[in-house]
Amino acid sequence: MNYYSLHRKSPNTSFKNAVIEGLAKDRGIYFPENITPLSKDFIENIEQYSHEEIAFEAIKQFVGDEIPETVLKEIIKETVSFDFPVVEIEENIGTLELFHGPTMAFKDVGARFMSSCLAYFNRDNDKEITVLVATSGDTGGAVANGFLNAKGIKVVILYPSGKVSDIQERQLTTLGNNITALEVDGVFDDCQDMVKTAFLDKTIQRTLTSANSINVARWLPQMFYFFFAYKQLKKQNKELVFSVPSGNFGNICAGIMANKLGLPIKHFIAATNINDTVSNYLENGNYVPKPSKATISNAMDVGNPSNFIRIQELFNNDLMALKNKFSSYSFTDEITKKAMQSIFTESGYIADPHGAVGYLGLQKYDLEENEYGVFLETAHPVKFLDVVETTLPVSIEIPEQIKKVIGKEKVSLKIRTYEELKSSLNAE
């Protein structure tokens, strides 16, 4: 499988090079040359397959022969070694829980898959690779955990100071070893811009790659969730509508990829907080990125989502075709808190702020009788303890995965400018 830059000014490249480079030389993100639908027989009999078998079928064409089949199956086995349950919330609405991995966030899947791919590609290379990543919350912890002590790989994580939750910050600043945390005086978009600039800076004396969802090995495995949900819900015999809490739009883009592979999904909803660049675009046809604004659903505080260009490519840049399959709605913090309270009152379910935004997306869409709505619960509510416990009459028990970082000393280097990032990279 070859990949091309969506800026179309760089040569096409292999899966291996796309993973190692992260971003094309023309600053475009990579996209697969071909998408071949899976067999109808496989989709129709999906209940007969294990999660590992489903994931292998979904991803194998995008890897090709660059990783041996036996190795790829081992990578997948490790990647999906936890549960992905759909929990019913009310009639015709369920939540797909994606927080049962080691850092209790949906990004565990992509981080684990990418780290294993990169380790395989770097197995005979004496040259160290530096994984450079920007995070608005959960990516940092997932990447730090996924790459911890990986041979020949260093990780540098940029995160916006004061704009991630305490637990999220601890997950990315307390591991040490090959993990370095840079606390940026700014917002997530500033972190993301620094990372993209570094990739093209020839004065940086390191081999850099990205572990954000711009990297194909971080982005594509997110398709797995949608297949797993369909496997569980197929017996409902209803058309599926997915509402995805969206920041950088990698997760929902992966869902659309699953649909292109033949997974029957009727409609996608990108549910966002007040960072409403995409919902405005669908309304007026003008794509105007804006500085991100801080909210209680901080992992979605993105004003210029990197993966939206991939979504446009999947619809051949046809706005009307996109709108037929894809909607986007924006919600305030106040409405999000009311949704958390409503979900808890009606069902006893504790949703985190991101999941609540996903639920609101389904409410806004207004499901028909023959439709079943699924909203993604992308992180465990414990990661947003202050918001959840001040919004709901609950006290959340700290899971074992989180206890490991509570009480550990935070270690981060504060930076303000790109030059400080470059100095830090060249000094290592």
The two tokens of residue 47 are 């209940």
In a domain, 111, yes or no: no
d(CA 198, CA 188): 16
Q: Are 308 and 358 in contact (CB under 8 A)?
A: no
In a domain, 377, yes or no: yes
Annotation marks residue 234 as catalytic: no
Nearest Cα residue to 250 out of 384, 57, 106: 106
Q: Which domain does 282 fall in, by range?
A: 82-103+219-396
Contacts of 78 (CB under 8 A, 6+ apart): 112, 116
Q: Are 73 and 52 in contact (CB under 8 A)?
A: yes
In a domain, 58, yes or no: no
In a domain, 425, yes or no: no
pLDDT of residue 3: 98
Q: From the candidates 9, 40, 73, 107, give the one annotated as an active-site residue.
A: 107
Q: Are 222 and 376 in contact (CB under 8 A)?
A: no
Is beta strand 30-32 parallel, antiparallel or unpaired with respect to 2-5?
Answer: antiparallel
What CATH number does the domain containing 89 carry?
3.40.50.1100
d(CA 311, CA 250): 9
Q: How far is C-alpha 236 from the chain's CA centre?
A: 27
In a domain, 203, yes or no: no
pLDDT tens, N- to C-terminus, the chain (428 residues): 999 999 999 999 999 999 998 889 898 999 999 999 999 999 999 999 999 999 999 999 999 999 999 999 999 999 999 999 999 999 999 999 999 998 899 989 998 999 899 989 988 877 888 989 888 777 778 888 888 888 888 999 999 998 888 888 888 898 888 899 999 999 888 998 998 899 888 898 788 888 878 899 999 999 999 999 999 999 999 999 999 999 999 999 999 999 999 999 999 999 999 999 999 999 999 999 998 898 999 889 999 999 999 999 999 999 999 999 999 999 999 999 999 999 999 999 999 999 999 999 999 999 999 999 999 999 999 989 999 999 999 999 988 888 888 878 888 999 999 999 999 888 76
Give the other-Cβ count within 10 Å of 367's Cβ: 18
In a domain, 68, yes or no: no
Q: Are 78 and 71 in contact (CB under 8 A)?
A: no
In a domain, 190, yes or no: no
Total count of domains within the chain: 1
Task: Kindly list the distances between the CA atom of residue 297 and the CA atoms of 155, 293, 346, in Å, as whole numbers in the listed order.
Answer: 25, 11, 22
In a domain, 61, yes or no: no
Q: Are 33 and 4 in contact (CB under 8 A)?
A: yes
pLDDT of residue 428: 61
